[in-house]
């Protein structure tokens, strides 16, 4: 899933890392070799 806007939150389902987007550059976020899952809220 491509990053689309500032403030989106993503989580790695393998290690639990969480990321909050501060600048949109396109592309997808990857951690532990897998795409990170977008979180709501």
Q: Tokens 């997808």, residue?
A: 28
pTM over 0.95: no
User: Which parts of the chain register pLDDT below 50?
Assistant: none
> For domain 9-39, which architecture applies?
Single Sheet (2.20)
The pLDDT, as a whole number, for residue 41 is 65
Q: How far apart are CA 14 and CA 33, in angstroms?
A: 9
Q: Residue ranges per domain, the chain?
A: 9-39
- Give the SS3 label for residue 11: strand
The pLDDT, as a whole number, for residue 26 is 83
The pLDDT, as a whole number, for residue 35 is 96
């Amino acid at each position: 899933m491509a990053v689309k806007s500032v403030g989106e939150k993503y989580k790695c389902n393998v290690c639990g890392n969480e990321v909050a987007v501060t600048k949109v550059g396109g592309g997808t976020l990857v951690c532990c070799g897998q795409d990170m899952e977008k979180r709501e809220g």
